[in-house]
């Protein structure tokens, strides 16, 4: 009985670990961090092969299959949580604020953010769309600041892989 429980715990822990690594590896691939992705992939597969050798030899025990599925689901949760905490990379924040775009763009520039203003034509008036590239760790604070100026603004956030000429100036 103890052997069965230990085997199930081993399977669950391995799956939690390899799926968490796999989630982070996927993010590294998307961001073009190929060497880190390759290193993560090595450990992900090494752990997966280890757990599969145990699973294949003990397919007759449904507890092991449940542990495998449990580890997979918790590994996804943990991997996404780790990604949120680590916050690799950059985001592009595009802000649509027809009534307060000047206030928002002035605040961003005052705080050292590089911005691009693009003329836009809304239903009622003309304004400017604000685009900035920021480190992922700063997104929540920046959005909170923007919403303090305009609670009705619309914004989009997308992953960004800055290329030629990009240098993040805001270090606050």
Which tens digit of pLDDT belongs to each residue from 116-170?
999 998 888 888 999 999 888 889 999 999 999 999 899 999 988 766 665 555 5
Distance CA 131, CA 126 (A): 16
pLDDT digits (tens, 9 = 90+) for 7-27: 999 999 999 999 999 999 998
Q: Which of the following CATH numbers is that of domain 90-160: 3.40.50.2300, 3.40.50.1110, 3.90.230.10, 3.30.70.120? A: 3.30.70.120
pTM of the entire structure?
0.69
CA distances from 72 to 16, 54, 79, 103 (A): 6, 15, 10, 46
């Amino acid at each position: 009985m103890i052997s069965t429980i230990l085997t199930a715990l081993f399977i669950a822990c391995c799956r939690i670990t390899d799926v968490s690594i796999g989630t982070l590896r996927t993010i590294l691939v998307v961001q073009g961090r190929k060497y880190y992705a390759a290193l993560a992939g090595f450990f992900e597969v090494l752990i997966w092969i280890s757990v599969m050798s145990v699973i294949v030899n003990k397919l007759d025990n449904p507890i092991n299959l449940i542990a495998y599925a449990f580890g997979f689901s918790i590994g996804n949760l943990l991997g996404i949580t780790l990604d949120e905490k680590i916050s690799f990379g950059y985001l592009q924040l595009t802000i649509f604020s027809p009534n307060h775009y000047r206030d928002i763009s002035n605040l961003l520039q005052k705080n050292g953010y590089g911005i691009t203003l693009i003329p836009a034509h809304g239903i009622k008036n003309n304004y400017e769309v604000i685009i900035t590239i920021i480190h992922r760790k700063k997104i929540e604070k920046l959005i909170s600041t923007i919403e303090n100026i305009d609670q009705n603004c619309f914004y989009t956030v997308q992953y960004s892989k800055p290329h030629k000429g990009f240098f993040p100036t805001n270090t606050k």
